[in-house]
C-alpha cells in the first residue's frame, strides 16, 4: 500500500499554484508534483501530491488513534510544504492523506495553523479531508 498525500485547490489561480509548488519544494526539500493535467478543466480543480510523504512514515505507519505516524523530520517538512501551498489557495484548499484507493470518511474544517499543528504533533488523520483556510 502507498500513502497518497494530496492537496486540492478548488478556487486558486493557476499561476499562484505553480509558484506555490516551486516555493513548497524550496522550503521543504520535498518533491511536490506539478498540478495534475485536469487542472485546466473548469469542472476539475487542480491537485498536487507530496509523493515522498509515504517515505516519511515511521515503521509504525499509523497510530492507534487513526493517525499517520511520520518521522520528526518528515512532520516538519510536510507542515512547511502545506503552509506554503496554502498561500496559493485563495480561500480554501483540501488536504487528504490516505492509502491509495481509500475514500475519506469525514471532513474537518480548520485553519492552516491548526493543520500545521496536527502534522507537527503527529495527529494527521487517516481517511480525513481537511478543508483548510488561511485564517
Q: pLDDT for 85-123, tens place per residue?
A: 998 888 899 999 998 899 999 999 999 999 999 999 999
What is the rounded average pLDDT of the residues 13-24? Answer: 91
User: Measured between alpha carbons, how far is residue 115 from residues 9, 24, 36, 39 in Å?
Assistant: 16, 16, 23, 24
Within a 10 A sphere around the Cβ of 44, how many other Cβ atoms? 12
**Residue whose C-alpha cell is 509523493:** 51
Is pTM beyond 0.75? Reply is: yes
CATH number of 3-133: 3.30.310, 2.60.40, 1.10.3210, 1.10.3470? 3.30.310
Instruction: Compute φ and ψ for 55, nearest 5 degrees.
Output: -70, -15
DSSP assigned state of 42: S
Of 41-55, 57-71, 78-92, which gets the smallest average pLDDT? 57-71
Confidence bin at 66 (pLDDT 50/70/90): confident
Kindly list the domain boundaries of the chain, sorted by start residue: 3-133
Confidence bin at 36 (pLDDT 50/70/90): confident
Residues 120 and 82: beta-carbon distance below 8 Å: no
Answer with the residue of higher pLDDT: 116 or 66.
116
Q: Which helix (H) or strand (E) holds 118?
A: helix 112-120
Q: Is the pLDDT of residue 17 over 80?
A: yes
Of 5-19, 39-53, 84-98, 112-126, which gets the smallest average pLDDT? 39-53
Instruction: Give the pLDDT confidence score for residue 37 in this predicted structure.
Output: 60
Amino acid at each position: 500500500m502507498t500513502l497518497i498525500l494530496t492537496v486540492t485547490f478548488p478556487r486558486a489561480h493557476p499561476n499562484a499554484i505553480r509558484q506555490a509548488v516551486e516555493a513548497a519544494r524550496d522550503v521543504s526539500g520535498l518533491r511536490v508534483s506539478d498540478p495534475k493535467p485536469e487542472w485546466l478543466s473548469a469542472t476539475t480543480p487542480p491537485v498536487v501530491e507530496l509523493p515522498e510523504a509515504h517515505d516519511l512514515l515511521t515503521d509504525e505507519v499509523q497510530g492507534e488513534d487513526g493517525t499517520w505516524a511520520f518521522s520528526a523530520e518528515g512532520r516538519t517538512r510536510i507542515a512547511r510544504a502545506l503552509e506554503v501551498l496554502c498561500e496559493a489557495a485563495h480561500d480554501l484548499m483540501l488536504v487528504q492523506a490516505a492509502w491509495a484507493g481509500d475514500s475519506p470518511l469525514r471532513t474537518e474544517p480548520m485553519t492552516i495553523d491548526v493543520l500545521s499543528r496536527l502534522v507537527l504533533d503527529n495527529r494527521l488523520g487517516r481517511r480525513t479531508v481537511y478543508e483548510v483556510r488561511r485564517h
